[in-house]
Amino acid sequence: MKQRVLALMAAGCLLLSGCSSLLDREYSTVEAHTSKYWESESADTLRAETYQDIVNDLLILIGQHTEEAQVRLYDYEDDTSVADDLERAAAEVKQETPMGAYAAEYITSESKAQRGYYEVTVHIGYRRTAEQIQSVVNATSTEALPDLLNAAVRDGKSELAVRIGYWGQGEAEKVAQTVADVRKQWEIPDDKPWTVNYYPATGQAGLIEFLMNVETG
């Protein structure tokens, strides 16, 4: 099944839809199963020709909660450049992209030179389940959080993860105020605190996780 992966929460993604963008930040819109990212003769093998392709491939795999996969690297001439780009891409995805920081525990790989390409086996360990990744909600901005949090409390959910397309100055303060307002509305006592996590933890946040564990009457 084709999956649309969006870079900066394109306007076509509805505010409260369950779709989950796999490619973060400035990455261009792609189709997960086009020839650019998948080998035509092998449906379960990804391909990459540049460093950015490797990053995008890793994000596709994380979006599908794939634990092990094959990636073929083209236009690489030596083992050192392959190893350097694989290590750098893994670090970028895990530390600097919202979904990678949220979902991935570790990313490792090993490569073997073939005729015309490198065969890479990627291993990904997860801190989130496949269900948690698929449950991430996309929102254009933090303005959607009151409705999303109220719905989560009403439905008795213990957690909510929201991808944010736009993150401006002072957004963290807005999030804190929204949490306070929702808790007050539902009369949630102080001895039932919520935890709010931002991914990535530093820089511009792209995903917010709310751990609520709320019990309402």
What's the pLDDT tens digit per position in 112-141? 999 999 999 999 999 999 999 999 999 999
Residue 217 belongs to a domain: no
Per-residue pLDDT, 38:
78
161: domain CATH number is 3.30.110.140
Which of 88, 105, 127 is the C-terminal boundary of a domain? Answer: 127
**CA 137 vs CA 8, 18, 47, 99: distances in Å:** 14, 5, 28, 12
- pLDDT at site 28: 36
**Average model confidence (pLDDT) for the chain?**
85
Residue 204 has pLDDT above 80, yes or no: yes
Q: How many domains does the chain have?
A: 2
Q: What is the pLDDT of residue 115?
A: 93
End-of-domain residue from the set 127, 153, 175:
127
For range 34-42, the mean pLDDT: 66
Q: Is the pLDDT of residue 11 over 90?
A: no
Domain containing 40 equals: 4-127
Residues 101 and 142 in one domain: no
| pLDDT tens, residue by residue, 136-184 | 999 999 999 999 999 999 999 999 999 999 999 999 999 999 999 999 9
Q: Which residues contact 154 (CB under 8 A, 6 or more apart)?
A: none
- Domain C-terminal end among 104, 127, 150: 127
Enumerate long-range contacts of 76-85, CB under 8 Å, 24 or more apart.
76/117, 76/118, 79/111, 79/113, 82/111, 82/118, 82/120, 83/111, 85/51, 85/54
For residues 94 and 39, state if they share a domain. Answer: yes
Whether 216 is covered by a domain: the verdict is: no
| 52-100 pLDDT per residue, tens | 999 999 999 999 999 999 999 999 999 999 999 999 999 999 999 999 9
* Helix 171-185 / helix 145-154 crossing angle, nearest 10 deg: 30
In this predicted structure, what is the pLDDT of residue 29?
36
